[in-house]
Amino acid sequence: MYAIEALSEQGVWRALKRTLNHNRLEIQPLEVFLSVHCHGAEARAGRINVKVILIGIAICTKFLYEYEEGLSEIFKVPRRIR
């Protein structure tokens, strides 16, 4: 996953962190995103076991490592980038 895309799309970074911290993916109904009502739509959640590789320039990684609490617990950050 490209780090800049995860950071620039509203809500993506927060959802990614929450998903990876809890090993649980919550799929929201379409109405949450479109502000419309869908009959029978409900949120679904499930356990996951995935590995995510963030791709980005070093300055982006340094910024995240410095300002995002708990990043080192979610992602293995090479020492040379810290």
d(CA 54, CA 61) in angstroms, rounded, equals: 9
Which of the pair, 76 or 7, is modelled with greater confidence? 7
Reported as type and span, the H/E element at residue 5 is helix 3-8
For the question of whether the overall pTM of this predicted structure is more than 0.75, the answer is: no
Which of the pair, 73 or 30, is modelled with greater confidence? 73
Q: Supply the pLDDT for residue 74.
A: 84
pLDDT tens-digit map of 21-62: 889 888 766 555 555 555 555 666 788 888 888 888 888 878
Torsion of CA 3, 10, 73, 76, to 10 degrees: -10
So where are the chain's domains?
3-74
**Residue type at 44?**
R
